[in-house]
Structure 1
Amino acid sequence: MNEMTIITVVVLAVVACLLFWQSLLLASLESAVVRVTRANLNNLMIETQTDSELSQFTRQKKIDKIHRLQRLIANRHATSSACAFQRIVSNVLLGAIAVCIAAIFGCAVWLQLIIGVVVALVVAFVSVLVRPRSVGSDRPLEILLSHTRLASFAYACAPFLHRHKSKTAQNKAELSENEELEEIHLEQGRAAINRVLETNRFDPETSEMLHNVLELSDSLTREIMVPRTDMICIEKDASLEDFLKLCSRSGYSRIPVIGNDIDDLLGIAYMKDAVRASIFNNAALSRPIASIMRDPMLVPELKPADDLFHEMQQTCHHVAIVVDEYGGIAGMVTIEDALEQIVGELQDEHDHAQHGEPQQIGESKWSMPARTPIADLEDIFEVDLDEDDVDTVYGLLTKLLGRVPIVGSSATTHGLRLTAVDSAGRRKKVSTIVVEPQSEAEQTETEESSQDDEATPTTTTQESNDHE
């Protein structure tokens, strides 16, 4: 091997080392460029201009770097793609140099090709999966400032990417800088959590909770609210005594106050306010509910669930009324509804589990889950109800009452009396309905006639100050 050959091999080896170093730096820049905002650069510019310890030359040099970075960040997608493209070019050139060195040493053609491919793959693996990419994520601004010229060189070498925008970039074109960066971080967070969960280091409940935290921003208020058809309301003319009875029966401690209809919302009544006003003054029980009414918190139905949760935290509200685009009442939502999107259904010591099948509790007297099909009711009592617009026992009772049933509500049809006797879950929705022939229920009709349909019954439901 003559002297010229040795010099050629050495030069090629030096160029290969430089390309390998460039590939690693480009991997760091590719990761860093999506994590720096214009706000970061503006703050850095102010710090640089007001730093009295810097000389004029150093200050101007750093300002020039910041200006260069601002131009790159203005089209971050093109800059990131240009760094990726230049990294791939470096890997290809490394493979070509490896082939040349192998040819100089007289290797066979097939061996030259194998060496070139293996070298390119190894460098690509190192530049993507090893330390450089994590460095760009941990110290993005520092990496960009240190290698601004390399990023500018990569950007200049890929002019075909300057005007090209991917479909994702077009969809984000109208987003602000912070919103765009937040969406990028959210996508990266999902990918990171998926990788961590694949290691099976967490139990299934914890894994599901981590997924729910990231998906909370994708949920809208209307998806987690109680719809208006299931809302329990009280009229403005009701007294505090009526309100406390309704709280006891329904299990709710915060109830909307309405005027002529549900869209005529006047405010929210809190059971704690009613108890505070009447506990030492029984005469206050006759006061109208409007005397303790509070202004409601109104939120749009399209508000993201995570924004709703943070706003309710900041304003110290646990319940809000959801309005639709026309200003009508769409439903009601509580801070617990947002929490349940993360941790699952919440229950307390007053919540009751619901049995799954109808149970006979007396002669011709059955206890049925609210979702028992009407067909099962017809088979048990051998009647033909002919109800085509409802499918469950709960739906039948709701139709007969003309409103949302609560514990103690009762109605009769086709010789059968249906009575709501229990509720389940944090929302205190009726869970159990007792069905019996009307003839047997007539023995207690005298006592029931002296009470209003909304009077407090003797049931297993108790007051709950922690519910909405």
Structure 2
Amino acid sequence: MLTSTVLQALALTGLTLAALLLVWFSLTLAATERAVSRVTRASLNNLILEIQTDTETSRFTKVKKIRKVQKVQELIGDRFATSGSCVFFRILSNVFDGVLFACIAFLGQGPLWAVLLIGLLGAVLVAVISILVRRSSSSNNRPVEVMLRHARLIALAVRLTPFATVKEGQHSSKSRKGQEELSDDEELEKIQLEQGRATIDRLVEANDFDSEVSEMLRNVLTLSETLTREIMVPRTDMICIEQTESLSDLLKLCSRSGFSRIPVIGEDVDDLIGVAYLKDAVRATAFNPQASDRPVSSICRQPMLVPESKPVDDLFHQMQRTRQHVAVVVDEYGGIAGLVTIEDALEQIVGEMEDEHDRTQHAEPEQIGPYKWKMPARTTINDLEDIFEVDIDEDDVDTIYGLLTKLLGRVPIVGMSAVTRGLRLTAVDSAGRRKKVSTIEVEPAQADDLTGEDDDMQHGADSDRADDSVEE
């Protein structure tokens, strides 16, 4: 009788330990199942680089750590197979937990219905706990650490479930169908962005954030999808200065354009010499007036070059690291595509930014003299023709800003003017952070000769259509 009691106690202890071991195994698989979907190849490559450059670690330890990281790289090579193996053994562990709990109840001399109920409730309880662990475990924040800690266990689970591995032929057939696989880091990043947007939408619906904050959060998530070419100032709108110009000319150009950083060029825009800073010119000439005649190339700084296909989030971080506020954008052929500033990247998050010097351009043309009008830069050429009763006849531009740009042959800045069809167009004001000309004054080129009736002004304008002229 005593021997039977001892054997029963030993059996009960063994079943309890086995059940607890399966519970631990199920929770571990739940955590690693979550980590598999969050580890990227880039993070593992960076970790290997850190291990190789660690001067405080011995060579033996480095090799050991690198082998473990390589094991994780093999596991995430097919995320479907690894995740499927984890799910399979987690479910199998839950089932065996239920069986072990039922056996423990049976050894306790319980009735049959109680044995079955305890086994069922035990399996369900372990399954619920594993799901909660999967959602709130450290694998959400430290997936690489979780995978490294349990790499051998997961590798064993994958080897024991060869049916979960996707064969090479199935991979190629999916590729032919154009289906993107989760094992690709780009697809993983896409899924994480979609999850982030869904989380923000839920927070907005719950009124946890106001509309402006939620919009900024959405904009942050779209930075990786926005390319530099979408936010840059195109080369046709760039304000540049030739390298032979003097520092005095640079100061005047900065004053008129409103910019403090001007690209310095040689023969053309593609012949980029560098970037001239207003503060460097002021520092050079403030206490040495003779330095005003020095060429701009003497204060040039090395330009920061970025490809036009660079994502805006990477551009923003690079400008932060290098402490650069302006970068020159190059196309795939090495030509200058445009200019981008750190403010351009910030505007993708917070929206349009204006400083205390920016002015809002007039909504409609305004007459300020007998034959003198002040017009917004976006005023159409048709409106200009109606006001002055002339025929501009320009098919490749639609606004007076475009007309002035065409006449000048470059981006207009405040103070520049040009004459066409007997009318003088003068840039008089700029607005916005990019200091783009916002207001243009239009008047007859020879106002003194046109003080008569309106029909006399019309005749004088028509007679002067032969030549166009440009002034600064």
Answer yes or no: same fold by TM over 0.5: yes
Aligned with 1:74: secondary structure?
helix
Q: Among 156, 161, 166, which residue is 2:159 paired with? A: 156
Residue 238, structure 1, aligned to residue 245, structure 2: yes
Residue 83, structure 1, aligned to residue 90, structure 2: no
Q: Among 250, 254, 257, which residue is 1:250 paired with? A: 257
Contact 1:38 1:70 in 2 (8 A): no
Deviations 1:340-381 (A, max 9, x none): 222222221111122333333333433222122222223333
Alignment of structure 1 residues 360-439 onto 2, 5 Å? 360-439=367-446
Residue 32, structure 1, aligned to residue 35, structure 2: yes
What's 1:461 paired with? none
What's 2:71 paired with? 71
Deviations 1:400-420 (A, max 9, x none): 222111111212223322211
C-alpha distance in structure 2 between counterparts of 1:211 and 1:143, whole Å = 30
What's 1:227 paired with? 234
Count of matched residue positions in the alignment of Structure 1 and Structure 2: 419
Residue 440, structure 1, aligned to residue 447, structure 2: yes
Q: CA deviation at 1:133?
A: 4.7
Residue 354, structure 1, aligned to residue 347, structure 2: no
Contact 1:72 1:79 in 2 (8 A): no
C-alpha distance in structure 2 between counterparts of 1:69 and 1:293, whole Å = 46
Deviations 1:168-205 (A, max 9, x none): 44883xxxxxxx4x984675365246314422222222
What's 2:327 paired with? 320
C-alpha distance in structure 1 between counterparts of 2:133 and 2:238, whole Å = 56
What's 2:270 paired with? 263
Q: Percent identity?
A: 58
What's 2:3 paired with? none
C-alpha distance in structure 2 between counterparts of 1:42 and 1:281, whole Å = 51
What's 1:460 paired with? none
C-alpha distance in structure 2 between counterparts of 1:171 and 1:149, whole Å = 20
Taking a change above 3 Å as real, the CA distance of residues 347 and 208 of structure 1, as seen in their structure-2 partners, is: same
What's 1:449 paired with? none
Contact 1:66 1:145 in 2 (8 A): no
C-alpha distance in structure 1 between counterparts of 2:434 and 2:369, whole Å = 29
Deviations 1:61-88 (A, max 9, x none): xx7x996785354132131232234446
Q: CA deviation at 1:427?
A: 0.9
Deviations 1:300-358 (A, max 9, x none): 32333333333333333322222222222211222222222222222211111223333
Residue 309, structure 1, aligned to residue 313, structure 2: no
Aligned with 1:379: secondary structure?
helix
What's 2:460 paired with? none
Aligned with 1:347: secondary structure?
coil
Q: CA deviation at 1:383?
A: 3.0
Taking a change above 3 Å as real, the CA distance of residues 196 and 267 of structure 1, as seen in their structure-2 partners, is: closer
C-alpha distance in structure 1 between counterparts of 2:434 and 2:471, whole Å = 21
Aligned with 2:137: secondary structure?
helix
Alignment of structure 1 residues 208-219 onto 2, 5 Å? 208-219=215-226
Q: CA deviation at 1:154?
A: 3.5
Contact 2:328 2:340 in 1 (8 A): yes
Q: CA deviation at 1:390?
A: 0.8
Taking a change above 3 Å as real, the CA distance of residues 336 and 195 of structure 1, as seen in their structure-2 partners, is: same
Contact 1:24 1:132 in 2 (8 A): no
Q: CA deviation at 1:260?
A: 2.2
Q: CA deviation at 1:395?
A: 0.8
Aligned with 2:230: secondary structure?
helix
Contact 1:417 1:441 in 2 (8 A): no
Contact 2:262 2:275 in 1 (8 A): yes
Q: Which runs of 5+ in 1 are unaligned?
A: 1-11, 53-58, 107-111, 173-179, 444-451, 455-468
Residue identity matched to 2:335: G
Deviations 1:397-441 (A, max 9, x none): 111222111111212223322211111111111111122333437
Contact 1:319 1:332 in 2 (8 A): yes
Taking a change above 3 Å as real, the CA distance of residues 224 and 144 of structure 1, as seen in their structure-2 partners, is: closer
CA RMSD after TM alignment: 4.8
Deviates further, 407-416 or 127-136: 127-136
Q: CA deviation at 1:131?
A: 5.7
After TM superposition, the score normalised by the length of structure 2 is: 0.71
Residue identity matched to 2:74: A
C-alpha distance in structure 1 between counterparts of 2:325 and 2:213, whole Å = 25
C-alpha distance in structure 2 between counterparts of 1:44 and 1:258, whole Å = 45
Deviates further, 389-398 or 337-346: 337-346
C-alpha distance in structure 1 between counterparts of 2:27 and 2:166, whole Å = 26
Q: CA deviation at 1:286?
A: 3.0
Q: Which runs of 5+ in 2 are unaligned?
A: 1-14, 106-111, 451-469
Answer 1 or 2: higher relative contact order, Cα 8 Å, separation at least 6: 1
Q: CA deviation at 1:219?
A: 2.8
Contact 1:312 1:318 in 2 (8 A): yes
Contact 1:369 1:431 in 2 (8 A): yes
Q: CA deviation at 1:146?
A: 6.4
Q: CA deviation at 1:389?
A: 0.9
Aligned with 1:430: secondary structure?
strand
